[in-house]
Structure 1
Amino acid sequence: MRAVASGDRTAFRHLYDATQAKLYGVVLRILRERASAEDALQEIYVRIWDKAADFDPGKASAMTWMATIARNRAIDILRSARTAIGASEQDIEDLPAETAEPLQERHRSEELRRLLACLAGLDEERRQMILLAYYRGTTREALSRRFERPVPTVKTLLHRGLAQLRECLGHG
């Protein structure tokens, strides 16, 4: 990252080659349109180039820092277009954060196994709602239409389902 900050285009090219697939995935997950994600990715790498000197390895890994830039830019794009897609501000704020800490991979896989076991303990409808809402980013309004339930009921089911998961995972 220091080389990129000093204007080294070769270092930037290597950085791009090593990270573009991951950052594209972050952006695509939020924007859900390939063309929009590709356009956003170009803007994101311009920001990374411009702000490389601001990177602090004491605060986060380079990947986490870049994923945060990508996520924030994708959310900004989504916010500017939210009226066109019908998403509320709360739905956008509720988008899950991306993390990219390879050293924590083992810990995450153990947590994932525990989470999957806890998800299996939920009834099918609640499990599907939680996965759609927090993994796919589906809005509460879209869940309401899909499950033919009022939005307040969907919110209650999600809240209770998350409480069950927290309890199962020993976090509540």
Structure 2
Amino acid sequence: MDKDKQIIHLMAAQDFSGLEFLIDEYSSNLYKTVYSILSYPEERAYVEDGMNEILYEIWQKITRYDETKSSFQTWMLMIARNRSIDWKRKLVRERTVTDENVTIPTDSELLEKENFLALVDHLSDIDQEIFLYYYFYQFSAKEIAEMLAVSVEIIFNRLSRGRKTLRELEEKKDGKL
């Protein structure tokens, strides 16, 4: 029996050794996922609590895992990603101070729309990449600029133009244009 099946079997049987194996095998990947989304210093305090909640959610939902839909690791990382994005949204709503050099997504409804990925498909390849990094994976503009070897200003300009393009597409689709 491979390690994933063994972990699933033990956890489904409510055997805590399965949870221990999961932590040994996957905690670093789960941690990296949470840490990359809760990327601002004031959000870092939630990472540890978040990890505990994610592990508990995996424990609770283990019987719902379907190997025909995704790998075990992907399934767990999606739980971690979704939970982290929920916390990020909550923290952004609670934030009262905004810095004009930091864009706190006022257009977060773009992420919440079911057709976000379909809309992003209308952007150029580089803009798609920037949008996915920024809105989907929650990287900062500085991190994206470093990855793409461009300036932060270019990232903000492309995000601004992309949001405008997507807004126009949405308005056109809704019959407002």
Q: Pick one of 14, 32, 35 that aligns with 1:7.
A: 14
Q: Pick one of 152, 161, 171 that aligns with 1:156.
A: 161
Q: TM-score, normalised by structure 2?
A: 0.56
Q: Compared with structure 1, are the counterparts of its residues 34 and 8 closer, same or farther at alpha carbon in structure 2 (3 Å cutoff)?
A: same
Report the counterpart of residue 51 of structure 1 in structure 2: 61
Q: Displacement of 1:137 after TM fit?
A: 2.3
Q: Pick one of 144, 147, 160 that aligns with 2:153.
A: 147
Q: Compared with structure 1, are the counterparts of its residues 16 and 148 closer, same or farther at alpha carbon in structure 2 (3 Å cutoff)?
A: closer
For residues 138 and 88 of structure 2, what CA distance do their matches in structure 1 show? 15
Report the counterpart of residue 114 of structure 1 in structure 2: none
* Structure 1: gaps spanning 5 or more residues: 95-118, 161-172
Matches within 5 A, 1:7-46: 7-32=14-39, 33-46=43-56
Q: Compared with structure 1, are the counterparts of its residues 133 and 6 closer, same or farther at alpha carbon in structure 2 (3 Å cutoff)?
A: same
Question: Amino acid of the residue matched to residue 25 of structure 1?
Answer: K
Identity within the alignment, %: 30
Shift >3 Å, 4+ stretches = 84-88, 90-94, 129-136, 148-151, 157-160
Maintained 8 Å contact 2:30/2:80 = yes
Maintained 8 Å contact 1:79/1:92 = no
Answering whether residue 105 of structure 2 is matched by residue 87 of structure 1, we say yes
Q: Compared with structure 1, are the counterparts of its residues 2 and 149 closer, same or farther at alpha carbon in structure 2 (3 Å cutoff)?
A: closer
Q: Displacement of 1:158 after TM fit?
A: 8.3
Question: Amino acid of the residue matched to residue 138 of structure 1?
Answer: S
Question: Amino acid of the residue matched to residue 45 of structure 2?
Answer: A
For residues 148 and 9 of structure 1, what CA distance do their matches in structure 2 show? 49
* Structure 2: gaps spanning 5 or more residues: 1-7, 96-103, 114-124, 146-151, 166-177
Count of aligned residue pairs for this structure pair: 126
Maintained 8 Å contact 1:27/1:70 = yes
For residues 149 and 49 of structure 1, what CA distance do their matches in structure 2 show? 39
Q: Displacement of 1:43 after TM fit?
A: 0.3
Q: Displacement of 1:78 after TM fit?
A: 1.1
Question: Amino acid of the residue matched to residue 18 of structure 1?
Answer: E
Find the residue that maps to 1:81 and give its secondary structure.
Answer: helix
Q: Compared with structure 1, are the counterparts of its residues 150 and 46 closer, same or farther at alpha carbon in structure 2 (3 Å cutoff)?
A: closer
